[in-house]
Every structure is written in C-alpha cells, then in structure tokens.
Amino acid sequence: MKVFITGGAGFIGSHLSDAYIKRGDEVHILDDLSTGSIENISHLKDHPNFQYTIDSVLNRSIVAELVDQCDVVYHLAAAVGVKLIVESPVRTMKTNIQGTEVVLEQAAKKQKRVLIASTSEVYGVSEHIPFKEDGNLVMGATTKGRWSYACSKAIDEFLALAYYHEKSLPTTVVRLFNTVGPRQTGRYGMVVPSFVRQALAGKPITVYGDGTQSRCFGYVGDVVTSLVKLMDSTDTVGEVFNIGATEEVSIGELAELIKVKTNSNSEIVMIPYEEAYEAGFEDMPRRVPDVSKLENCINFKPSVSLDEILDSVIASFTKPTSKSVKTESAVL
C-alpha cells in the first residue's frame, strides 16, 4: 500500500510513518517543518520505501500529485500547541481550514480513502464528561484566541463529513486527545515534555493556573495503532472517533509525579494563566474521552499506563537510544 501522510515529520506523523514502514508499506510524507522536524524522520530518510517532500499542504499542485500517487491519505498537518495557536491565530486558521480543503478537494477528485485528524479541543468547555462523539461542542467567545483552533478544527470536521455525504469521499475523522511519547517537544507548550525538560534541568516546573485542571494522556504507540486500524476498516467511513486514554491526572499531580520520577530538586511553581498565555485565557478544567466507539469498532483498547508513558518520555530525554514502550503497533 502507498500511504501519503501530511504532517509526516511531526510527532504523531513520524511515528505513523514508522508503523507503515515496519509493515512493509510505502510512505510519502509532506511537511513544511513549521512544527515538525527533519530529526523526527532522519532514521527513515534512506529507507527505500520512504519519501519526503518539504512543502506546504496549502500547495495545491504538490498535494494533487502526492494524492494521485497514493492509496490512502492521512491529513495530520495542522497548527498545533496552545501557545503557538494563541500567538498566531491567523496562521492557525489558514493552515487548518485551507489545508484540509486542499486535501479533501484533491482526494475527492481521485476518490482516495482519507483520515482527517481533529482534536479533543473541539469539545471546548463542555462539562459532559466523558466526551462522546455525538455530544454538543461548547466553544468560548471569539474574543478568546484559543477557540479559533477549536473552531477551525470543527470546520475541518464539517468539511470532511460534507465531502463524505455530498461527494461519497470515504473519509474518517479522529479527535485526538492529549497524546505523548518520545519526539514530542515542549517547544509549543505541551505539558509533559515541558515538565520533564524543566525537572531534568533543575529549573522550576511551571504549573499554569492552580493545577487542578486534569487531562488523560495517551501513548503515541496506542494512537498510531488506532489510526492504522481505523484506516484498515471500511466500517469507520463517514464516522467520527475519539482517540485517547481514560486515566485522568491533574496537572498539579503530574508535576509531582515527574519531579519524583526524575529525582529532581526543581521547585513546582504556579503561573497565572494570563501570564502563561494571554489575558482572559480560558482553560478546559477536565478533558476525558469516551472511547467505547473506538474500542467497539476496531477491537482495540489503549493499554499503556501513565506511569509507563512518563518512564518512556523521561528515558527519551536521558537515553535517546532507549526503546519505546512496546505496544501492538510494534508488530503491525
């Protein structure tokens, strides 16, 4: 099979490329390296089944050519990271909405199988925990920059489903919850690599807000396994799936856990949201997925615990050659 992955030099895209290469498939990635990095794919660059193009997903003719050559398309290229999004909302909306339009338009011309990556951010400030795919999305005001990301990804979902209904394009939408693992950088604000880096350097561990907000962290290997299984199944066409773990931890507890695991002397400090992001910033107090639809459809349950995830991330910073956590994706 020939697999085209936009955003393939990113954190999740590069792990997805690894899984397909391991399976013996051909992979062509497209990435503009805005948040992805060549380092993430350096081990694949000489592989005979791997090709890469450094360009933007907004480049229609390049996307057309790469869609033409492949059997299936993963669209992962997007503006990511709350910090980046708050700082660059124009870029966020342009990349996310126009990029998805270009991919869907080109895929529709050739009726290629497509998977569009969305985000748990679309649930906004909904309090219906755990979040279910058919639940209401509750966005904050347009004056708060953060919600431009949620809205742009919600538009992506509408577009993908519209292409399915109107143009019979075989499309699946996934809402990725907080995903962590080796290769994720803290540069765009993601909390786990940021805390690990701070703890290892003996610098203050920066908890934003009061630390009572909680998240569920999923392992990238489990996420990749889910993505491949969703793509392999025809039952998933025209559907939206949450992908994530269900073990909930508060950010305050996470800071403590990482401090202990890294044996760090770092102090844990609380930074007000308006200092960390922007005035009036709104966080999501809890974010927990309902993953029953995913489990029922692909018969797979994310299995890597938070404890194992943190060990693997810490090892990737301290011993870069260490093996990742073994998941089903290792044998795809």
Site residues, ligand UDP (CB under 6 A): 82, 178, 189-191, 194, 206-208, 213, 215, 251, 283
Q: Find all residues with CB under 8 Å of 39, minimum gap 6, and list them.
A: none
d(CA 145, CA 327): 37
Q: b/e string for 226-265 if b means 16 or more Cβ within 10 A?
A: bbbbbbeeeebbbbbbbbbbbbbebbbebbebbbeebebe
d(CA 136, CA 121): 12
Q: How many residues does the chain have?
A: 332
Q: How far is the CB of 81 from ligand UDP (least distance, A)?
A: 7
Measured from the CB atom, the residue of 28 and 146 that comes closer to ligand UDP is 146
Secondary structure class of 4 (helix, strand, coil) = strand
Measured from the CB atom, the residue of 227 and 254 that comes closer to ligand UDP is 254
Q: How far is the CB of 6 from ligand UDP (least distance, A)?
A: 20
Q: How far is the CB of 95 from ligand UDP (least distance, A)?
A: 17
Measured from the CB atom, the residue of 105 and 283 that comes closer to ligand UDP is 283
Secondary structure class of 30 (helix, strand, coil) = strand
Concerning whether 149 is annotated as a catalytic residue, the answer is yes
Measured from the CB atom, the residue of 172 and 184 that comes closer to ligand UDP is 184
Q: How far is the CB of 142 from ligand UDP (least distance, A)?
A: 19
Secondary structure class of 179 (helix, strand, coil) = strand
DSSP state of 44: T
Q: b/e string for 29-46 if b means 16 or more Cβ within 10 A?
A: bbbbebbbbeebbeebee
Which residue among 52, 149, 163, 164 is the active-site one? 149
Measured from the CB atom, the residue of 170 and 186 that comes closer to ligand UDP is 186
Catalytically active residues are 149
